[in-house]
Every structure is written in C-alpha cells, then in structure tokens.
Amino acid sequence: MINVTKTFLPPQQEYQALLQQAWDTGWMTNRGVLVKELEDRLKAYLGVPQLISMTNGTLPIQIAIKALGLTGEIITTPFSYVATTSSIVWEGCTPVFVDIHPEYLTIDETQIEAAITLKTSAILATHVFGNPCNVEAIEAIAKKHNLKVIYDAAHCFGVTYKGQSLFNYGDVSTCSFHATKLFHTGEGGALFCKPEYYERMYWHHNFGHDGPEAFYGLGINAKMSEPQAAMGLAVLPYMSDILESRKRVVETYNAVLTDLEIQLLAIRDHTLWNFSYYPVVFKTEAQLLAVKTALNQADIFPRRYFYPSLNTLPYVDGSACEVADDIASRVLCLPLFVGFETQDINRVLTVIKTIIC
C-alpha cells in the first residue's frame, strides 16, 4: 500500500541514545535537557531568534489568540486544516472567511480590507503547503487597521522568504511537528513570535506560572516532553537527506504532470520551498474522483487535502467562498515521502495519465 505520506523514522538506536539522557537525568518533561537542546538546535537551523516548543501544532495557535488578547472577529482563510478555524472558535472568537487566491491558494489579501469591521482584532492566515501568504501586503493592512497577524505556518519548516525564515513574519507564527509533517517529534509543534511577546507566550504555555508558587495569569499546559524532543533531535540531522529525497519525488512528478491540463502549486517568488506537499488541482471534481478511485484500486491512497473548505464547518456561519469551495472540491495531494521509489512514483503517474488523457 502506498499512502499519501509515511513518517520519516531515524535509526532507532540514535533515538534510544538520546532517550538515555532522559533516563540519566530522571526528567521526562518540564523543560529538561532534551527540550532545551532541541530549541537551541532549531533556532540555529531555522534562523529564528526565539521559539517555544509545544506538545502539538494546535495549542500554539490557541495560545497566540489568547495571549494577544484577541476578541470579536478574526479574519481567516477557508483553505487550511480544521485546526486554524477550530482554534478561533475554541478561543471564543468568530472566524470571518476571506476567499483565497486561485493559484497561490493562500488568503486573497486584496479582499481582506472589505472584511474588516469594528470588531476585527486580527488576521489569522495559513501559508498553504509551505507557500507564503503575501506577507508584505498583509502587514501593511494590519498596520493601517491596528490588527495583529498570526500565521498558521504548520507546513513551513525550513521555508525561507526573501532570505529569512518564514516564521519571522507576523506577530506570531506556529508550526506543527506532527508525524505527518516534514520535520516531526511524533506529536509536537512550536510557536515563534516577536520578542516583545515571548514572555507572555511562554507563561501561557506553562499554566501561567511565575516560578513554582506564583502566577502571572491564566495559562494552559502545552509543554513539549523529553521523549518528543528526543525524536526531534534524532530527526533533525537528517533534514538535508529528507529535503533531497522529497525534491527528487517532486521533480519526478513535475517532469510528467506539468504537461497535463491540471493545475500545480504556484510558489510565490523569493521563496525557498520545502517540498512539503504535492497538491494537484484537477479540472473537475468528477475528474478528481475518477483519479482517486483508480489510484485506490491500485492500492495507492492520496488525500483530499484540504477538504472540505472550512467555511462549511458545522460550527461556523458558512457563507460561500467561491474560489476556496471550488479548489477544495478539486484538489488532491499525491503521495510524497522519503524513500518513495521511482517505480512507485511512476505507477501513480501512469494511473493519472490513463484517466485524464
């Protein structure tokens, strides 16, 4: 069976050697040596001034909303994973959906201003499949209207835009280190923010503690544990192999699929991309379903991602988003993972060509 993704696992003895440090110290969590070392290594690898490792990629979004004191309406994209919208609602705010750009698939910045009301407190946008939003335009809008900017950068590990980490844009960016993501700690994630927010974000992720016997305010538990950090430290040295291997898959797909009448991801200029996903937008939903069925019959399981469009969730006021609704109905992410053999990639390509030619 070929699945849409396959978790990269480092050699088990390397993971165990790192875990040994947790045994030696007797610390399993509460920011032991492994979490601290992972944060230091990630700062250097990514080129970010600070980060806070967390237990998954959803809590940092919720903590960002809470710690920035956001209320009322948050302008967001309908084309993302459910965690983007659910975090807004979970924090008692109202998502206001702005449609997406038909090629970049990120929020259409030209439509943001029309959605701003007196209740708007922030923009929460997703860098879709590692493809940056128009960060300059969004920053200008936010400045003009005094709004905060949060980026769900779950897909953006290692992506740079104009020569620096994409995580450095916005007031806060969040990443996921889930096992299906490019870099992973099993479950895990991180929050990146402007220096002035760091302390506030930090105590929010640790119950609000100010030392063992005092509290700054309301907090939650989002701490990364030592076994999670050990996995991250075991995976990180393989990042260049991971990227190289995924690049080969992407290039093999590109060599065939660019000649077909289907839409591939358009990466924004000045971006060093990370080969995180291979989305294909078919001509019609019927064509997508035909391809998906044929692939499934060949024991190949791509994923409709992102589907459905988040403006159709049962707990939001679902007004239509024409482009996002349309793209979500036609987009399929093809299998992409380290060690995907050329003969298997070719099997995927052969099935696609048979259906759409």
Contact between 303 and ligand PLP per CB under 6 A? no
In the complex, minimum distance from the CB of residue 313 to ligand PLP, in angstroms, rounded to a whole number:
14
Give SS3 for 54. strand
Contact between 55 and ligand PLP per CB under 6 A? no
Q: Of residues 240-279, which lie at the interface with ligand PLP (CB under 6 A)?
A: none
| Six token digits for residue 276 | 């995180």
In the complex, minimum distance from the CB of residue 299 to ligand PLP, in angstroms, rounded to a whole number:
25
Residue partners of 178: CB distance under 8 A and separation at least 6 = 56, 57, 154, 184, 186, 187, 188, 189
User: Among 53, 56, 225, 329, which residue interacts with ligand PLP (rule: CB under 6 A)?
Assistant: 56
In the complex, minimum distance from the CB of residue 352 to ligand PLP, in angstroms, rounded to a whole number:
24
Nearest to 58 by CA among 196, 169, 154, 168: 154
User: Among 32, 130, 170, 189, which residue interacts with ligand PLP (rule: CB under 6 A)?
Assistant: 189
In the complex, minimum distance from the CB of residue 105 to ligand PLP, in angstroms, rounded to a whole number:
12
Rg (the chain; Cα; Å): 21
Would you tell me the crossing angle of helices 285-297 and 322-330 to the nearest 10 degrees?
30
Contact between 81 and ligand PLP per CB under 6 A? yes
Cβ 172 vs Cβ 201: under 8 Å = yes
User: Among 134, 176, 309, 329, which residue interacts with ligand PLP (rule: CB under 6 A)?
Assistant: 176
CA distances from 48 to 182, 193, 200, 264, 266 (A): 18, 9, 18, 30, 26
Contact between 158 and ligand PLP per CB under 6 A? no
Contact between 126 and ligand PLP per CB under 6 A? yes
User: Among 51, 63, 83, 328, which residue interacts with ligand PLP (rule: CB under 6 A)?
Assistant: 83
Residue partners of 249: CB distance under 8 A and separation at least 6 = 275, 278, 336, 337, 340, 345
User: Among 53, 62, 76, 84, which residue interacts with ligand PLP (rule: CB under 6 A)?
Assistant: 84
Residue with smaller CB distance to ligand PLP, 178 or 330: 178
Amino acid identity for residue 228 in this structure: Q
Contact between 76 and ligand PLP per CB under 6 A? no
Size of the site for ligand PLP (CB under 6 A): 14
Q: For the residues of 65-90, what is the DSSP string, one character each?
A: HHHTT--SEEEE-SSS-HHHHHHHHH
In the complex, minimum distance from the CB of residue 349 to ligand PLP, in angstroms, rounded to a whole number:
25
Euclidean distance between CA atoms 293 and 346, whole angstroms: 17
In the complex, minimum distance from the CB of residue 1 to ligand PLP, in angstroms, rounded to a whole number:
22
Q: Which residues bind ligand PLP (CB under 6 A)?
A: 56-58, 80-81, 83-84, 126, 152, 154-155, 176, 178, 189
